[in-house]
Amino acid sequence: MDNGTLTQWNRLESRPRKVDFTRAMRAEIRDALWMMTRQWQLGELTAQDVGIPITAKIFYQNTILDKLRLGENKIVAVKNDLPLETLVERENIHVTKRSGKDHINDVALSNSFRKRLINLIKDEDGFTKAIKDNIVNELNEHPSLQYYLPTTDIDSANFEDISIKVNSELHKMHAAFASRAFHGGKLYISLKSGDKLSSYITNLASTNKNKLDAIGEIGVVWFNNLFNQSNYDKNTAWHPNQLEYQFSTVSPDAAGNPILLKAKEYYGGRLDWYASDVSLVNNNSNSRFTSNLRAELLTKSNDEVFPAEIEFPGVPHSRWWEIENGKLNFSQIQPNKTDLAKILFAEFGLLFSNNWFVMPLTLPFGSLTKIERIEIKDTFGQYTLVKHYQNYSENKNWGMFSLANSETGNTVHSDYLYIPPVAYDLLISDPLEKINFIRDEMANMVWGIESVIPDGMGMGIEGKAMATQIREYYNRLTSEKVNNESNVAKIEYQLVTEVPENWIPFIPVKVQNDNPLSRQIQLQRAQLPRIVGENNPMRIEPRTSLLLREQSPYYIFEEEIPKSGVIIELHWQRTRMANGKNVIWLGRKKTNGRGEGSSALAYDQIKSE
């Protein structure tokens, strides 16, 4: 028979009988032997008493990033006045071509430049009110600066006009500005290319022309400062075949040799130190990039700091009567015999936590720092010299925050601590463009689904909805013919099934070249026909800049589209620098997809009536 057990708990606690808690809180101990017993239980009588560090002098060398190379071509100087993300990701505001001239196809951006230019003209003291009104009126009525308003009779091959027509909000904006306000996007591109603002105005004195041209230059500078652009035809850091950014940085070391860092797989969004690897400077193509480095960027310094004990949840306090934080309960850790990680963690937290100290060291923005040695002074007045941890043979396979070697994959190759000049925090807009690359195993191809496309008003719009509206508009343009002939066929032959127009195909092709390291099977961008009634087939063009602006033939390496798929997004990004400067730029971001998909694409189908 199992007898029940009764468990009792006793707790020893102070219970003062007076209102004054002063003496009770002292926790007075009148038995010295009890204190010595406690010390014996905790092992203090057998421990080796060593000094605690009170000061430390850190000797280090520091070098600043000198140059940045985008991709394999463009080299720019790193001045730390812009985040590294901006220098790598930024691209020009997208433009389109109409009547042989480029213009910004965004009503919001175009209108912002127009309003700024009008304010500059009205604030010019050298112009009379009549001259100001005349300048604004002539700009509003100039034929080459008009918003295009699609009519009801649209050529079916003019896809851009149809895109404006089916987008009701964009069509309303064009209708509101047509013949009433000049197109700021067209004027900005014209002035940026070297044209003079006075060329759009007639009957203006030469002195007033100079003032007006100066206003135009001020407006272009304002717009360029508002939106940070690359000023090149395309982003040279973006690798379209691998769908990621690639860039390199270089800095001088103490001997004047270059420290080359390469980032081969930066996906956009947030840039950190682990995106770059140390690379060997053994390539002739790097000579122009790694030569003529500024020696003054490297400095040697020493700072005296005060070490502080590390703290983490559950750490035992060194003070005898101080109560530990209860967020982490070591007694609840119940490791198995083979669970070595938990055992080591508990042992470190309970026994050796007071042997670790933190030494603060302030380092400059965008730098590489190498700690040469540390001189520590303890409470006994003795000095201890601590060398770099990699100087000890037992640490050869250990490293923390160490840059890897891109050639060997050795994670402890570099002695430098890399602090890249990146943005502290980012404000990211909703995607202007979003492409979902998926694998379609039944069709044996990859699809680039344009989930979000630019709406022409500074934001994004659902790609599927726009594709459906465009298709319906084309169907309405085609008049159906009545077939009076009797058809007694029991089956119907279909050449190809329809796929939504926002699905852009990428077909596997074999690329023949002499490079043995090349990828022979790649994904080539293709086009589907738009077949409407009895009209001639038309090519379906992409709507996003990622798929539209790459030169044909456009290939993507097959391994870049895994089974899970890939999502590419284009965002406006904004950050504030330490000096208070706001930086806004367009950048792309690559993330994992959500799996495979099926387009239901099929050829030569037989349908029953």
Looking at the chain, the whole-number percentage of residues with pLDDT higher than 70 is: 85
Looking at the chain, the whole-number percentage of residues with pLDDT higher than 90 is: 30
pLDDT band at 448 (very low <50, low <70, confident <90, very high): very high
pTM (2 d.p.): 0.80
- Under 8 Å between Cβ of 405 and 277: yes
pLDDT band at 14 (very low <50, low <70, confident <90, very high): low
Q: Give the residue ranges of DSSP H helices in 129-180.
A: 129-141, 159-166, 168-177
Strand-pairing partners, residue 452, are 434, 462
* Residue 349, pLDDT score: 77
- Under 8 Å between Cβ of 261 and 123: no
Residue 96's nearest CA partner among 151, 158, 152 is: 158
Is the predicted pLDDT of residue 5 greater than 70, yes or no? no
Tokens of 101: 């001239």
Q: Give the residue ranges of DSSP H helices in 235-320.
A: 287-290
pLDDT digits (tens, 9 = 90+) for 208-250: 999 999 999 999 999 998 998 887 767 788 999 999 999 999 9
* Residue 216, pLDDT score: 93
Hey, which bits of 306-364 come out as E strands? Answer: 308-309, 357-358
Amino acid at 4: G
Q: Does an H or E element contain 26, and which?
A: helix 22-26
- Under 8 Å between Cβ of 430 and 457: no
Tell me the pLDDT of the chain averaged across its residues. Answer: 83
DSSP state of 405: B
- Under 8 Å between Cβ of 540 and 443: no
Amino acid at 119: N
How many angstroms separate the CA atoms of 258 and 69, rounded? 14
pLDDT digits (tens, 9 = 90+) for 90-142: 988 888 766 666 778 889 999 999 999 999 999 998 899 999 999 999 999 99
* Residue 412, pLDDT score: 45
Q: How far is CA 593 from the centre of its chain?
A: 17
- Under 8 Å between Cβ of 544 and 435: yes
How many angstroms separate the CA atoms of 371 and 302, rounded? 10
Domain regions of the chain by residue span: 55-91+231-307+359-423, 95-146+182-226, 427-478+489-608
